[in-house]
Every structure is written in C-alpha cells, then in structure tokens.
Chain A
Amino acid sequence: MKNADTVSSVIKIATGIPGFDFIADGGLPKGRTTLVAGTAGSGKTIFAAQFLAEGIRQHNEPGVFITFEEQPQDIRRNVANFGWDVGKWEGEGVWIFVDASPEPSHELNIVGDFDFGALLARVEHAVRNARAQRVVLDSIGSVFSQFVSHSRVRHELFRIASALREMGVTTVMTAERREEYGPVAANGIEEFVADNVIILRNSLEDEKRRRTIEILKFRGTTHHKGEYPFTVIASDGIVVIPLSAIELKQHSADIRVTSGNGDLDRMCGGGLFRDSIILVSGATGTGKTLLSTHFVDGGAAMGERCLMFAYEESREQLGRNAIGWGTDFDVLEQGNKLRVICEYPESAALEDHLVRIKDAIEDFKPNRIAVDSLSALERVSTPRGFREFVLALTSFIKHKEITGLFTSTTPTLTGGASVTEAHISSITDTILLLRYVELYGEMRRGVAVLKMRGSAHEKEFRELVIDSSGMHIGAAFRNVSGILAGNPIQIEASEIDRLDKLFPSDHL
C-alpha cells in the first residue's frame, strides 16, 4: 500500500484528533480541502472545531472558522463542553469566526447574477489577520438552502476552495448527507471537492448508536480503509478508536507470571505468560471472580500492580468476597498495589468504556488487569462492536506488556460457550474453563486449560474446591467424560485402564 515515490508529493498535517492521525497515516493532506460528510448529529461540527482547537493547542497553528449554519455564540458555547475556550483564542487572535450564518431578519431577494466575492474577501481577510493555517467551512449545505441556484453556489464554493488552496491553508469543509449509506453528500458537492473525502456515520444497529469514521479517499496519498468507531467524550471531543489498524507487532515475552494459584500455574506449564490474554469461561458460581481475586493477590505478592474492572459487583461486595478468601483489597489499595473500578455496563457506550479503561491504564500503569466480567459489557453493544472492542482492548494491553485476565459468563450451567467466547477466543492466548460437573447427583466444580498458546499444558479436567482460603485444585476427573459437552458420563475403571494401554500417556 505504501509507496514512497508516489506519496512524497503530498504532505500531511497532524490534526491532533486522538486516533484520527493514525488511520489517516499522519493527518490531513496539507494545503488541500477535505470534505467531511455526515448525517445530522454525526459529529461534523465537532470534528471541524476540534481540527482548529488542536491546531491551536498542539501545533500553534491559528485557524479560521467560517460558519454557514450555527451562530458563532452557539459554537462557542457548544465546544466549551470539550474544554476549548474559543472566546479566549479569539481574544488572542488565533481563532477568527467568519459569520455566514443565515440572518432571519435579512430577507433575501435575488435579482440577476451574483458571486461570493464578499465572502471570499472576508475569508481572505480573516486568514491574513489570524495568519491561519487551518480553515473550516461548516456546513455548506446551509448555503444551498439560502440560494436557489445550486450550480452557482457550487461554482462559488469551488472558487473559495481554490483561493484557500492558493493561500496554502489546510481546509475542512463539512457537508450534510441524507442517508448513512448513499451518496457522499447532498447537492452534488463531492463533485468539486472530490480529492479528499471523510465520512462520519451515526448509525443505529440493534437499537444501539454506533459512530464510525471512514476515510473514503485521499488523492495521491495513503490512509487506512474501512470504518473505525469513534466516540465523543466530554474532555477530549472526538476520539477515534483505530481497532483493526493496530498492528499485531507485540513481541511476546516468554516470561512467566503467577496466576495466583500454584496448582493452576502447574497446569499451565509453569505459570501464565506476562504479555498474554487469559480468558476464564464459566457459568455463574464456578469461581471466576475468585480466580480474578487470586490473580490480583498473586500479582501483588510479586510486587506487581493490578487494575481491576468490575462490571457485575460493587467494590464492597468484591472486597467482602475477597476477605472471605483471604485477600484484603483495602490493604492492597492502600499499598497502591490495586485499583478497583466498578461500573455498570449500561452507564456508557462500549467505546466510552474502552476510553475509560485506556485512561485508567495510562494513569495507574498496572502490570496486570482483570476484567470481571467481559461478557457483561456485551450487553451494551452489537456483536461487531463488541468484537472490535475486545480487539482494541487486547492489542492495547499487549502493547503495554500487561497480563490481562478476562472472565466470561456462560449462559448455561453446564458446558456451553457464550457468544463472548465465540467472538474472542481466537484473540486470547490462554483459555481456562471452569465447569460444573454433576457426579452422583452432586454438583462439583472442574477446571481445565483449554488452550495455551506457546506452551505445553495439562489436558485433564481437574476438580476445583472452593473453601475459606480460596481455590484448591485437586485430582483429575479420571472416570468422567463429556464435561465439555455439558453431559458428564461415568466411565468404568477397567475401560480407563484399557484406554491407557492403547494410548500410553505422554506427559508433556
């Protein structure tokens, strides 16, 4: 995809919009106009304003905001929520509004031919005064509703875009779309600014809103293709989540760390790998939260810091359970070995959860994180959104060389796999199964290592006993089969001996 010879002519400028510059292979084409098209409420104005705000904040590049729709005071107020003090920047002369919003009191009669000479003069004036390097036109659909002659408006906007190009400024022009999947923009706008096109979407999938950004084209230069989710958060504005664009370049260390349970470490061939993702699958009550607690405790005992995200239980409940198993979360938290973040999955969209998790990781800098449970988060998302979330989360924590333990609740008590697992099992390095095993009318618990990438591991289902000191792993269920299928069957001892002779056990 990348070719140094052909891309050298187009220079990019970093927008500073988190995640966007990554999918844009560096940013927007410098000195060009980029069309940002989207339906109502898709975030066009935020994108445009953020382009200017980050230009001022991060790159010391002044900007001009030409507004065709909202009044400047509305824009000032709306973006103040993101912490952008436009009024202050205007005072410093680094942000200038050109107000081309329709004035209700101005009754407009059109008699004969006209051009946008006045607007162009105002834009040039503002760009000169601010020494602007970034210009925004938001949103041009509104001009079309003011003037009857659309071909004249198109022509005049094209003239303004050409003039901006001559001035060497990088321009973002926003435009309305009527459908999420349809023509690029209304009014035939894409025909004259066809070089660089970005589409913002806000589509409804399974009653859930999903915001995505897609770079449709950048003429003469590269970008990542396809739709990437983004979220709009109070402190930062737009945050693009460059999921599948994340390269699988994590180096996997063969350093082993403890799971917090010596027996389990032995089953895993000597412990978990440091940069690995462990999925713990089990029905309710099989010991997933207990395993997470041991995972925290084991890390702390080795001097590691652990971040725990709990989506099913409150901090008090978790603490009480942990005390019951001999781990004191309060002490660990006071010793700065642990931070527990409890949230309702429904409190935010999945993209927002991802941003919160990332922020917490950046802030606490843990060695290991536990998510209990990942399947609870699935409730607030679509299957595709969830898969992307898990991909983004796993690649992020692998990048940080963090051990990640995710739990997943299976829908049935015995056997079965949850949808969560179907989506993410290939992403995880290690899968631990916690299962109920019914023997002689008694419910017992079993544990097995289903897979462990890059390591030998035990293949048996072992009995798992939970008591006041936590989890203990006992002998293998040698005379039971069908646990995975959720239908354990007793096998005669003589049959086991016969099989043993047929297949001599090769202990790894």
Chain B
Amino acid sequence: MKQFVLKLYIAGRTQRTEQAISSLQEICENDLASAYELSVIDVLERPQLAENEKILATPTLVRELPPPLRRVVGDLSNRERVLVGLDLAIRDTLDQGKN
C-alpha cells in the first residue's frame, strides 16, 4: 500500500528542475522504499493546478499524504533537510541507528 503521496511542481525543464527530480527520486528510493506515489507537475503546462494549490515558488514538493500537508521549496539538493521538511527525519535516524 502506498503510504506517501508526493507532488513536485516544476516550471519547465531547467537545470534546477532536473536537480530537484533526481534528488527526490534518490530520496524516494532510499528512504521511502516503494511506499510512495510521485507525480511531477509542470506549472507552465498546468497553471491552474498551481493556482488551486497556491504554489508560488518552483520547485515545490508537496507531501499530500500522510497528513499534515507539508511543503518543501527548492532544488532539494540537501537530503537531510528535505527529510526534515517532509517530517521523515526521526524515521531516518531510527533507520540509521539500526544499521
């Protein structure tokens, strides 16, 4: 069962976008195992979605599930801080503790 529903809002395919996508994929694979669903939304193509979700900056990562809603803005280049932003830090340290 998919536990995490993540949406990444980007504005076109820029270097920053690619950086964010690859960072995020890495985090998903390593930290969420396969319990996630990730969709990438290009606001240039779907501005109304950005309007509905009140997205200001790109890239913005939204954790829609599980609640509460959490947002991380930026190219996600710092894995630790992304995990903190997604509220995965505790789990992450626990995992590390097991290893």
Contacts and interface: CB of A to CB of B under 8 A. Distances in A.
Interface of A: 98-101, 103, 105-122, 124-126, 143, 146-147
B64 to A, nearest CB: 12
Contacts of A111: 72-78, 81-82, 85
A499 to B, nearest CB: 87
A21 to B, nearest CB: 33
B69 A112 contact: no
B77 A117 contact: no
Interface string B57-90: 1111000000011111111111001101100000
A114 B59 contact: yes
B96 interface: no
A113 B76 CA distance: 8
Contact of B56 (A118, A124, A125): A118
B75 A113 contact: yes
A210 B44 CA distance: 46
Nearest to B42: A121
Contact of A118 (B9, B19, B74, B84): B9
A80 B35 CA distance: 49
A410 to B, nearest CB: 63
Contact of B71 (A108, A121, A126): A108
Contacts of B59: 114
Contacts of A119: 55-57
Interface string B8-25: 011110001001100000
Contacts of B47: 121-122, 124-125
B56 A100 contact: yes
The 5 A-B pairs with the shortest beta carbon distances in the complex, nearest first, are A117-B11, A109-B85, A125-B47, A112-B74, A112-B75
Contacts of B60: 114, 118
B50 interface: yes
A201 B9 CA distance: 40
Given A106-B71, A111-B81, A115-B57, 9 more contacts: A103-B54, A111-B76, A111-B77, A113-B16, A114-B16, A114-B74, A117-B11, A117-B12, A122-B47
Counting chain A CB atoms within 10 Å of each CB, which of B47, B55, B75, B78 scores highest? B47
A109 B81 contact: yes
A351 to B, nearest CB: 38
B99 interface: no
Contacts of A126: 51
B75 to A, nearest CB: 4
Contacts of A113: 16, 74-75, 77
Contacts of B11: 115, 117-118, 120-121
Given A106-B71, A111-B81, A118 B57 contact: yes
A108 B48 CA distance: 21
Contacts of B19: 112
The B contact surface, by secondary structure, is: mixed
Given A112-B75, A114-B75, A118-B50, A105 B16 contact: no
A143 B56 CA distance: 10
Contact of A109 (B16, B69, B72, B77): B72
Contacts of A120: 11
B85 to A, nearest CB: 3
A106 B70 CA distance: 6
Given A99-B54, A111-B82, A117-B12, A122 B43 contact: yes
Contacts of B48: 125
B73 A114 contact: yes
A429 to B, nearest CB: 60
A115 B55 contact: no
Given A100-B54, A114-B59, A105 B78 contact: no
7 contacts: A106-B71, A110-B72, A111-B78, A112-B77, A114-B59, A118-B43, A122-B47
A108 B56 CA distance: 11
Given A121-B50, A122-B51, A124-B47, A107 B71 contact: yes
B51 to A, nearest CB: 5
A108 B72 CA distance: 6
A119 B72 CA distance: 16
A347 to B, nearest CB: 44
Contacts of B56: 100, 116, 118-119, 143, 146
Nearest to B79: A111
Contacts of A146: 56
B39 to A, nearest CB: 15
A375 B48 CA distance: 59
A436 to B, nearest CB: 72
A105 B69 contact: yes
B80 to A, nearest CB: 9
Contact of A125 (B51, B54, B68, B82): B51
